Amino acid sequence: PHDRPSMMARRYSVLALAAIVLLAAPVSGELAIRKPAPAWAGKAVLNDAIVDLSSDSLKGKWVVLFFYPLDFTFVCPTEIVEFNNKYAEFKALGAEVIGISVDSPHAHLAWTRTAKEDGGVGKLDFPLLSDLSKEISRKFNVLVDNAEDEHYGVTMRGTFIIDPQGIIRTFSINDEPIGRSIDETFRQLESAQFAAENKGKGCPANWKKGADTITANRKDSLDFFKSWSK
């Protein structure tokens, strides 16, 4: 006959193991549009110094948080320099720009002290945050965690626009070889701000500040469609 106590013990062991696996698994469902962005804190490089920076210190501001794979690589400096070139325009919209990778703050510091013609980024007007522990990258689901992937342990090109209440309004993630458009990120920020200030109105495809918008009801939207369809 079967040993019933032994069978029950094995069954409970299996259930306990399953529970541990579920608790250890990453919870990707927590990251979503219209949901709070994960909190974070760490060391960053700004103005040729290593400083403390956290999401709490940015409360009440629009934030453009962008992840990139690594310092001293190839596509990354082109994106970071272009963000810096447009930084004054982001600031004019009341937004803070934060770059982040899994490099140490010392690597960030060395990179900002390296000339652009030598593959560096030069002096930047916005901070580069260090995620050496990879905790922030995991929270934002941009970390490559497949040990068989050639980019194992680094982040992909995630871009998150977060409103003053800490809510994610838009995000996108590019594969490692695909550089993002900083002009498009800026356009999305303008769109997110317009939508936040004008409830019931939407920004159509390729919308830029000053262009016509759509009122989200059947009657009023027809005014837009009549003009748009010509």
Can you name the residues that pair with 97 across neighbouring β-strands?
64
Closest CA to 77 of 164, 182, 210: 182
User: Which residues are known catalytic residues?
Assistant: 76
**What DSSP state is assigned to residue 212?**
-
Q: How far from each other are the two terminal CA atoms of the chain, in whole angstroms? A: 82
State the Cα–Cα distance between residues 185 and 18, nearest whole angstrom: 41
Closest CA to 92 of 165, 158, 189, 169: 189
CA distances from 1 to 5, 8, 40, 74, 178 (A): 12, 14, 57, 67, 63
Block residue for tokens 């990258």: 137
